[in-house]
Amino acid sequence: MSLEPTPLPADAEGTPPQPSAEPGGLDAGLFAPRRRQLVVGLVLTVTLVAFEAMAIAAIMPDVKDDLGGLGLYGWVFSGFFLGSLLGIVVAGQLADSRGLVLPYVVGLGLFTTGLLIGGGAVSMPVLVVGRVLQGFGAGAIPAIGYTAVGRGIPGPLRPKMFAVMSTAWVVPGLVGPSAALLVEHVLSWRAVFLVLVPLVLLAGVMTVPALATMGPPEGVDADDVEHRERRAAQALRLRQVVLLVVGVGAAFAAVSGVPGVVAATLVLFGVPLAVNALVHLLPAGTLRLDRGIPATVAVRGILTFGFFAADAYVPLAVVDGRGGSSWIAGAALTVSALTWTAGSWIQARSIDQVGPQRLDRIGFGALAVGIALMLGVALGLPVGLAVVAWAVSGFGIGIAYAPQAVTVLASAKPGEEGKASAAIQLSDAVGIALGTGVAGGVISIGDGRGWPVDHSVTWVFVLALGGALGGVLASGRIPERVPAQAT
């Protein structure tokens, strides 16, 4: 699984970062002695978070064989991303009011606790609890990292720092699945969780002293009317995010093997709650695919839904569904990260000529082709074709992913870029959580009815294919060209 977050050097409400108060300008560059500890600590922390996020899908078939609980397979992924969504918002607000150390330490502590729980899990429900805690930390840590860049790195050096932090996601995407499988085969799947604990603690020891020099943003008056209004808006946003997570979680729980009456109650409670929260959190008209920012934000969620609904279950399809080697599944995930990167570079060079609408249609089309090939693998085509299939899908999301962020930022009114970025990140996270969660519900239903795994994953790929094809149509609602405001 490969996902590089859209950089947003702002708090949860999109407040622009404060200019660095650091004297001395740019001498010695990004790794000047006075900021080296911050840079290295942040990059190491983000790398470890990214590695864990990428590695789990590769080892999950073995985890499932050991712990059982196929019906909760999807919760291992959706629980992580729901926790991440909460972590992003909570950390951003704490950073604004309490400084960076507290939310960073809390996020790092919860991530470490999740690693320990995951490594010692005796059942699938225990593992899910650990993954939710990991997800909260995995959301909080990069959010604090981006805020730290805004407050501690001079403006001209920030693009380079964001490039370095982006690499911290790309490299684990390339080596994470293979490294996880190697650790799993040499030691055990539990070691994939536990081996990171000392490194996470080292990253914390390196980073906390640098963050301690950065307090809340300068010039903030707690009694200022504008500040109080912004804090009230942040509190409202946090409540809406909590309601969203509760609603989505209730809907997922409904398809996790609970009795029929309980399932119906959870659906009737959770779905309206989640939809109402989304209406308040996303730009007006997003769910109607209104042209411009609303449609583009919606298309991002459709894209991540379609890709991750399938991506999380590629190893299950290969290993349990078709009896293939886990190394084939790992190779599929690794090659997907490579082609995602290649697609990103191609779109960067062609977006001005081709336009975001056409790039997204091409990307969704490639994603649909890749998912269709995986559907063929589930139905009996050679298992090795999974590597080709997921390479095509990775290329598709690489082509389609970045143009949406570029379009949203270019379409935003001056001063509202942070708000627009926050909206597309929210849609991104919700799409992943829904994709992995709904697909996990299909797996759970199949497990409850005694379906073989290949039958269950067939329906998962049908679901994901529907999302990709829907994205081809929905892409027609986003702008044909990047608005002129873009630079």
Q: What digits encode the pLDDT tens for the residues 419-442?
A: 676 777 788 888 988 898 889 888
Q: Mean pLDDT throughout 302-317?
A: 92
Whole-number Å distance between alpha carbons of 12 and 449: 43
* pLDDT given at position 155: 64
pLDDT of 130 > 80? The answer is yes
Which of 200, 216, 232 is the last residue in one of the domains? 216
pLDDT of 388 > 90? The answer is yes
* pLDDT given at position 299: 93
Which of 172, 193, 216 is the last residue in one of the domains? 216
pLDDT of 305 > 60? The answer is yes
Q: Mean pLDDT throughout 256-281?
A: 86
* pLDDT given at position 11: 42
On whether both 74 and 195 belong to a single domain, the answer is yes
On whether both 381 and 448 belong to a single domain, the answer is yes
Residue 460 near residue 445 (C-beta atoms within 8 A): no
pLDDT of 246 > 80? The answer is yes
Beta-carbon contacts of residue 77 (< 8 Å; ≥ 6 apart): 1, 56, 57, 131, 308, 312, 432, 436, 437, 440
Whole-number Å distance between alpha carbons of 73 and 441: 9
On whether both 157 and 235 belong to a single domain, the answer is no
Per residue in 137-190, pLDDT tens?
888 887 787 777 777 777 677 667 766 776 777 778 778 888 888 988 888 889
Per residue in 469-479, pLDDT tens?
999 999 999 88
Calculate the CA 177 to chain-centre distance. 16
On whether both 440 and 398 belong to a single domain, the answer is yes
- The two tokens of residue 377 are 């693998």
Calculate the CA 99 to chain-centre distance. 24
- Residue 23's pLDDT band, with cuts at 50, 70 and 90, is very low
pLDDT cut 70: percent of the chain above it = 87
On whether both 354 and 459 belong to a single domain, the answer is yes
| DSSP at 164 | H
* pLDDT given at position 487: 42
Other Cβ atoms within 10 Å of 22 Cβ, number: 15
On whether both 338 and 458 belong to a single domain, the answer is yes
Beta-carbon contacts of residue 253 (< 8 Å; ≥ 6 apart): 266, 270
* pLDDT given at position 20: 43
Phi, psi at 68, each rounded to 5°? 75, -160
pLDDT of 375 > 90? The answer is yes
Q: Mean pLDDT throughout 100-110?
A: 88
Per residue in 194-233, pLDDT tens?
988 998 888 888 888 888 877 555 555 555 666 677 777 7
- For residues 235 and 357, which has the higher predicted lDDT (pLDDT)? 357
- Residue 12's pLDDT band, with cuts at 50, 70 and 90, is very low
Other Cβ atoms within 10 Å of 201 Cβ, number: 12
The chain-wide mean pLDDT, for the chain, equals 82
pLDDT of 192 > 50? The answer is yes
On whether both 23 and 45 belong to a single domain, the answer is yes
Whole-number Å distance between alpha carbons of 358 and 360: 5
* pLDDT given at position 18: 45
Q: Mean pLDDT throughout 443-472?
A: 91
Whole-number Å distance between alpha carbons of 444 and 397: 27
Which of 178, 193, 216 is the last residue in one of the domains? 216
pLDDT of 450 > 80? The answer is yes
On whether both 236 and 185 belong to a single domain, the answer is no
113: exposed, middle or buried (Cβ count in 10 Å: 0-12, 13-18, 19+): middle
* Of the listed ranges 98-102, 152-156, 453-457, the one predicted with least confidence: 152-156
Whole-number Å distance between alpha carbons of 215 and 103: 12
Whole-number Å distance between alpha carbons of 326 and 178: 10
Taking CA atoms, 231 is separated from 39, 61, 178, in Å, by: 29, 44, 44
Domain around 230: 221-281
Residue 425 is part of a domain; what is its CATH number?
A: 1.20.1250.20
On whether both 444 and 321 belong to a single domain, the answer is yes
Most confident option among 86-90, 253-257, 482-486: 86-90
On whether both 316 and 442 belong to a single domain, the answer is yes
On whether both 245 and 352 belong to a single domain, the answer is no
Number of structural domains (the chain) is: 3
3-state helix, strand, coil in the chain (%, to 5): 80, 0, 20
On whether both 79 and 193 belong to a single domain, the answer is yes
pLDDT of 14 > 50? The answer is no
